[in-house]
Amino acid sequence: MQSATQLLATAESIYKVTGPEDIAWFEERFPGDRVLAGSAISEDYSHDEMGTVSRAPDILVKPVSTEEIAAVMAYASSQRLPVVVRGSGTGLVGGCVAIKGGILLDTTLMNHILEVDHENLTVTVEPGVLLMDLAAHVEAQGLFYPPDPGEKSATIAGNISTNAGGMRAVKYGVTRDYVRALTVVLPSGEIVELGSKVVKNSSGYALKDLMIGSEGTLGIITRAVLRLLPLPPKRVSILVPFARMETALETVPKIIQSKVLPTAVEFMERQTILFAEEYLGKRFPDTSAPAYLLLTFDGASQEIIDQSYRTIADLCLACGAQDVLIVDTEERHQSVWNARGTFLEAIKASTTEMDECDVVVPRNRIAEFITFTHELAELLQMRIPSFGHAGDGNLHVYVCRDDLDEATWQAKLSQAFDAMYAKSVAFGGLVSGEHGIGYAKKGYMQNQYGPVQTRLMNDIKAVFDPLNILNPGKICQ
C-alpha cells in the first residue's frame, strides 16, 4: 500500500516517490553490489560529462541481462517510477540524468562482445561495451566498425541512443548506418527484436531506426547487432596549416567538390592544440599556424591513397595552405589523433565552466558560421573556441565562462546560444549533429521544429511509453 507521502506527487510529478518498499524490491532481486540507494550512490551518477544538468537518482541498479531489465521495467510500470538508462555518462546534454529522480539503470556491467559473424560481417554486443573495446576487438580480426566519435570510452548503446557520428562520417556515415538489429526492452517490460542481420529490409515501419537517436526515451537497448566492414589496410593523414581559419574552412567545400573522398576532414585552431598539449603533457608535431585542417584517407592500396592525398595536398596549396604535413606512420597518427581526441577535455580544463553548441550546418556554410562565432566572441567579450568535423558540417563550439560571475555568465551564455542557433537555422542547419538534444538543448530544438513536429514526437513517445516513465522530460517534452 502506498503511503500518503508517496501519493502526494510534486507539482510537476505524476510519478510515485520512491519508497523503502521499492528499495526492498530491488534488494531482493539484485546482489548488494548491484543496487544502491540514496546517499550510497556516488555523486558521479547525478550528472553527465558536461555537468550542467544535475539530479541524483533514488535507486541505482546495475543489471546484467535483458531479463533483469525487463523485470525492472515491468515493476517500474506497475509503480509508475521514472527510469533513466546510463552508459559511461559521457553525454553532453544531460540525456542520462534522472531529472525526475527514480531509478537509474547503469548498463556498464553488460559489456560483453557476444559474437563476431564473419559470414554476415556483423558483431553482436551488449549495450555497455565501450567503443574503444569494440574497435580493438574487431580490428584484431581484420574488421572495421567505422563510426569514430571522439569519446572512445562511451558505451555502444550510448552511441546508438544519440546516433553518434564522429570523425569518419564524411566517408562512412554515422552510427545509424551500422546498426542491423536491436534487442529492446519497452517501458512496459516487453522485449522486442527490431531488425535482423539482413542487409536489406522493406518490412514495415522502421522501428529499429526510430530507436536509434531516441536518447533512451522509447526503449532500452540491451543488445545490438552492428554491421562491420573489412578493415582498410592503409591510411595516411595530412595536417594542413593555414594562416587564417577562414581560408582553411573555405577550402573544405572545394575538397568535397574534388570528388576525392577523405575519411575525415577536421578543423582545429592553434589555441585548442595548445590546450591539448597542456592537458596531455605532450607536444603536438606542429603549432606554427593559427589554423589547421586534418584529413585522413584510407583504402586498399598505398598507391590509391597516395594519389588521393596528393590531389588534396595540391588543392590545399593552391587554396593558400602554408604547407601540407604528412602523417603516414602509426607513431605519427598517434601524435596527431590522440591530441584531437582530447580537445573537448582540454578546452574544459582551460576554463571554469563551459557549455557546448553541437550544431550541424550545410558544409558550404561552415566558414561563415565559424566567422560568426568569432564575431560573437568579440561582441560578447568572451572566449568561444571551436573545433569539429569540417567535412560533415558538424561544429563543436564551446562558450567558456572563465572569470564571469554567475549572473553575467548565464546572461551571456544564453545570448551566445540564441545567436548561434538562430544563425544555424538561417543557414539551414540543425540543433545537434551528434551529441543529441537530451535536456539541455530541447528548447532550441522545439523552437526550430515548431509545434507540429514536436507534437508528432510526443505522440510517438506516448505510443512506446504511455505512462511516460522512461527518461521523461527529455527531447520533445
Partner 1 sequence: MNILVCIKQVPSSTQVTVDEKTGVLNRNGVESKMNPYDLFAIEAALQLREQAGGTVTALSMGPPQAKSILEEALAMGADQACLLSDRRFAGADVVATSYTLSQGIRHLGVFDLIICGKQTTDGDTAQVGAEIAEFMDLPHAANVTSIGAIGPDHLLIDVNLEQIVQKQKILLPCLLTVEKDLNMPRLPSYRRMLARRDDQVQVLSLADFTDQDERHYGLAGSPTQVERIFPPVHEHEKHTTSGDADHVAGELLALLLRLKVTPAQTACEIR
Instruction: Quote the least distance from Cβ 228 to partner 1, whole Å.
Output: 23
Furthest C-alpha separation in the chain = 76
Q: Does 327 bind partner 1 (CB under 8 A)?
A: yes
Member of 61, 179, 239, 249 binding partner 1 (CB under 8 A): 239
Q: Does 320 bind partner 1 (CB under 8 A)?
A: no
Q: Does 209 bind partner 1 (CB under 8 A)?
A: no
Q: Does 328 bind partner 1 (CB under 8 A)?
A: yes
Instruction: Quote the least distance from Cβ 338 to partner 1, whole Å.
Output: 12
**Is 407 within 8 Å of 426 (Cβ atoms)?**
no
Q: Does 331 bind partner 1 (CB under 8 A)?
A: yes
Q: Does 282 bind partner 1 (CB under 8 A)?
A: yes
Cβ-based nearer residue to partner 1, 19 or 290: 290
Instruction: Quote the least distance from Cβ 22 to partner 1, whole Å.
Output: 33
**Is 357 within 8 Å of 50 (Cβ atoms)?**
no
> Rounded to whole angstroms, what are the CA distances from 89 to 43, 99, 111, 254?
12, 14, 15, 38
Question: Terminus-to-terminus CA distance in the chain, angstroms?
Answer: 30
Q: Does 445 bind partner 1 (CB under 8 A)?
A: no
Member of 196, 335, 364, 415 binding partner 1 (CB under 8 A): 335
Q: Does 323 bind partner 1 (CB under 8 A)?
A: yes
What's the angle, vertex CA 37, arms to CA 126 and CA 154, rounded to 5?
A: 30
Instruction: Quote the least distance from Cβ 329 to partner 1, whole Å.
Output: 5
Per-residue interface string for the shown chain with partner 1, residues 293-312, x marking contact by CB under 8 A: -----------------x--
Cβ-based nearer residue to partner 1, 177 or 286: 286
Chain-centroid distance of CA 211 in Å reads 15
Q: Does 140 bind partner 1 (CB under 8 A)?
A: no
Cβ-based nearer residue to partner 1, 185 or 324: 324
Query: Rounded to whole angstroms, how far apart are CA atoms 82 and 454?
Result: 22
Cβ-based nearer residue to partner 1, 83 or 324: 324
Instruction: Quote the least distance from Cβ 268 to partner 1, whole Å.
Output: 15
| Piece in contact with partner 1 (CB under 8 A), picked from 4-12, 21-29, 277-285, 469-477 | 277-285
What's the angle, vertex CA 257, arms to CA 255 and CA 258, rounded to 5?
A: 65
Cβ-based nearer residue to partner 1, 336 or 370: 336
Cβ-based nearer residue to partner 1, 332 or 383: 332
Q: Does 317 bind partner 1 (CB under 8 A)?
A: yes
Query: Rounded to whole angstroms, how far apart are CA atoms 232 and 238?
Result: 17
Member of 123, 130, 238, 476 binding partner 1 (CB under 8 A): 238
Other beta carbons within 10 Å of 459: 10
Q: Are strands 59-61 and 103-106 parallel, antiparallel or unpaired?
A: parallel
- DSSP per-residue codes, 279-330: HHTS--S---SSEEEEEEEEES-HHHHHHHHHHHHHHHHHTT-S--EEE-SH
3-state secondary structure 43-67: HHHHCCCCCCCCCCCCEEECCCCHH
Half-sphere exposure of 433 (CA within 13 A, CB side): 29
Helix (H, G, I), strand (E, B) or coil at 398: strand
Cβ-based nearer residue to partner 1, 109 or 280: 280
Q: Which cell numbers in the block locate residue 14?
A: 505524476
Member of 41, 313, 413, 420 binding partner 1 (CB under 8 A): 313
Cβ-based nearer residue to partner 1, 181 or 321: 321
Member of 20, 38, 230, 285 binding partner 1 (CB under 8 A): 285
Q: How many residues bind partner 1 (CB under 8 A)?
A: 21
- DSSP per-residue codes, 171-182: HH--GGGGEEEE
Instruction: Quote the least distance from Cβ 373 to partner 1, whole Å.
Output: 28
Query: Rounded to whole angstroms, how far apart are CA atoms 296 and 284?
Result: 17
Member of 64, 261, 319, 326 binding partner 1 (CB under 8 A): 326
Residue numbers of the site for partner 1 (CB under 8 A)? Answer: 238-239, 282-286, 310, 313, 317, 323-329, 331-332, 335-336
